[in-house]
Chain A
Amino acid sequence: MLKERWNDTAGGFHPASASDYLPEPHLREVQLRRLRAVVSRAYEHVELFRTRLQERGLTPAAIERLEDIQQLPFTVKADLRDTYPFGLFASPMSDVVRLHASSGTTGKPIVVAYTRDDVEVWSEVMARTLACCTLHRGDILQNAFGYGLFTGGLGAHYGAEALGATVIPISGGNSDRQIMLIRDFGVSALCCTPSYFMHLIERANDLGVDLRKLPLRVGIFGAEPWSDAMRGHIEPATGIRAFDIYGLSEITGPGVASECSAQDGLHVFEDHFYPEIIDPDTGAALPDGEEGELVLTTLSKQAMPMIRYRTRDITAILREPCSCGRSIRRIRRIGRRCDDMFIIRGVNVFPSQVEAALLTVEGTLPHYQIILTREHGLDQITVEVEVTAEVFSDKVRALEDVRARIAHAIEHILGIRVGLRLVEPRSIERSQGKARRVIDRRNA
């Protein structure tokens, strides 16, 4: 059985992946047992959680079935800020072996903690993630996620080692060296943010390195939303298969969910992270298949359990069995976050909608930036798009035509007028990590 699954079309099989195939009744049993334990742990050690339960007249004994989770209060990002730095820890510092923190772009950073067991679970789910992305022992993984306070680098690193793959801990940045190692070391898999990979494609092109001719066969992309249209661009240009992975520091880091060889939704490692979908406005639980905000509960986390954490990511749970054979449920690819959304002239806009529009116009690359300004009290949206060799022409008319087609595609999707500015190639800042797509100058 094990041998059959080894490196088959469902992805390289590793003993850790066994939990991906648990029969559903068994899986639900594991989830319920773990849920009860984690709720008790949080109740006992985390003051905020205990107070909230008491206010509702609840105790951990209220959890008799999995559905009872819906009685529990949500945890939100502000809770992590309000209890900064260590207020949500459920383990004494003597049991904590690792701390990570967010960049804190909107105020104080959020801090997350891991016990030795937590690091082990994290390594396991990341090994399962990489196995989902068809990696196995013998693969050489170049890990271009940033190492440091960001969870991406170390998360992927531990996972790759747990899987038995060879990991190159190059971290983010220094694109020329990235490309040199991909070529010289015969790298077969690369992980980084999708926007950084777009930059590497460009740079490889400049250096005359044809990625299609190298052993590189898999790209593992996460930490920011990216679209199927972008995959449609990346895969033929590089000859790799591009997989989407999902995670967030508050829950563990990368390793919460991953695409498999079917590339049709992301399997949630739900024996450790229990997924729910709620209506973001009312907080009501939604049935599988319906779109809403993803809420996650860490079922086995010790140092910092998260109960019903609101991710702000919009998706749906797919209940249909996946062709890869895994029994754990999938979520639809996340194209948007409640937080990314901006409102302009009363219209809700997600950057992913602009990207989707751009990719419908032939020859445009998704190097773009959205700039919001206010003129005479009226909000204006301007999209800057870099000119590429494919669309550039020596004729003014042809370029005006490209400009109009892009503007039209965006206006068609958003339903509002946008300003469209063609800008010089490479004039939009390239990110080494998460891309900054929206610049809001309305209150500047």
Chain B
Amino acid sequence: MNEHMPLKQLSIFLENRPGSLRPPICALAEEGIDILTLSLADTTEFGILRLIVQDWDKGRRVLEQAGWVVTVSEVVAVGVADRPGGLAEVLAVLEGAGLDIEYLYAFALRDEDKAFLIFRFDDPARATSVLRGHGLHVLDITDLLRGSA
């Protein structure tokens, strides 16, 4: 197994109003930063945009320079087969180990029948070792870019 690099996620604060999502996305686009996946958590008042980008450090610099407050957090990406029960298996492992999921989002690559789950845990290192211990594929950014699970 290759040296595993923890997967970094960028988050920024957005107000819950029309038009607030476009500027940060445009800022990234202008600098040629590719977004692999994203999730938008929203409340009535505000939203939190979470992004997995190709080069998180550059992405953070671009967003900060454009005036956003950015936090970088470590998330855990798991690759599963895109079929019924794929997610359930992973959840069973996590439950068995008593790992709390803060939040998760997912994306699938249709032509490869692969799905990727992005988990946020309080202790990503422990979660990673538990998942690996059960033979699941924990991916880093290179894996995600290759789209191979």
Contacts and interface: CB of A to CB of B under 8 A. Distances in A.
A394 B9 contact: yes
B13 A387 contact: yes
Contacts, number: 50
A383 to B, nearest CB: 12
Most buried by A among B13, B41, B46, B102: B13
Nearest to A419: B45
Contact of A392 (B9, B13, B15): B13
B15 A388 contact: no
B46 A399 contact: yes
B43 A424 contact: no
A422 B43 CA distance: 11
B46 A394 contact: no
Given A388-B69, A393-B71, A421 B45 contact: yes
B120 A389 contact: no
A403 interface: yes
Nearest to B23: A424
Interface size class of A (residues with CB under 8 A): 10 to 19
A425 B15 contact: no
Given A394-B9, A394-B50, A427-B15, A422 B69 contact: no
Contact of A424 (B9, B13, B41, B102): B13
B46 A389 contact: no
Interface in B66-106: 67-71, 73, 102-103
A396 B43 contact: yes
Nearest to B9: A394
Nearest to B50: A394
A425 B103 contact: no
A394 B45 contact: no
A425 B20 CA distance: 12
B68 A425 contact: yes
Nearest to A403: B45
Interface string A385-402: 001110011111001100
A389 B71 contact: yes
Contact of B43 (A387, A400, A427): A400
Interface in B8-30: 9, 11, 13-15, 20
A423 B15 contact: yes
A441 interface: no
Contact of B69 (A206, A396, A403, A425): A425
A385 to B, nearest CB: 11
B68 A394 contact: no
Given A396-B41, A400-B43, A422 B13 contact: yes
Contacts of B41: 396
B120 A394 contact: yes
Nearest to A392: B69
Residue of A421, A423, A424, A427 with most chain B CB atoms under a 10 A cut-off: A424
Interface string B40-69: 010101101010000000000000010111
Interface of B is mostly: strand
B25 to A, nearest CB: 15
Contacts of A393: 11, 71
B22 to A, nearest CB: 13
A380 to B, nearest CB: 15
Nearest to A421: B45
Contact of B15 (A206, A389, A399, A424): A424
A426 interface: yes
A395 B103 contact: yes
A92 B82 CA distance: 91
B74 to A, nearest CB: 10
A386 to B, nearest CB: 9
B45 A425 contact: no
A403 B15 CA distance: 13
Interface string A307-341: 00000000000000000000000000000000000
B61 to A, nearest CB: 12
Contacts of B46: 387, 399, 422
A387 B102 contact: no
Nearest to B67: A426
A424 to B, nearest CB: 5
A422 B71 contact: no
A206 B69 CA distance: 12
B15 A394 contact: no
B13 A425 contact: yes
Nearest to A422: B46
B45 A424 contact: no
B21 to A, nearest CB: 12
Interface in A234-255: none
A11 to B, nearest CB: 39
A367 B46 CA distance: 17
B102 A395 contact: yes
A219 B135 CA distance: 61
A389 B48 contact: no
Which of A388, A392, A427 neighbours the largest number of chain B CB atoms within 10 Å of its CB? A392
Contacts of B13: 387, 392, 399, 422, 424-425
Interface of B: 9, 11, 13-15, 20, 41, 43, 45-46, 48, 50, 65, 67-71, 73, 102-103, 120
Lowest 8 A-B CB distances belong to which pairs? A394-B11, A387-B13, A392-B69, A389-B69, A425-B69, A394-B73, A396-B41, A426-B67
5 contacts: A392-B13, A403-B45, A422-B46, A425-B13, A425-B69
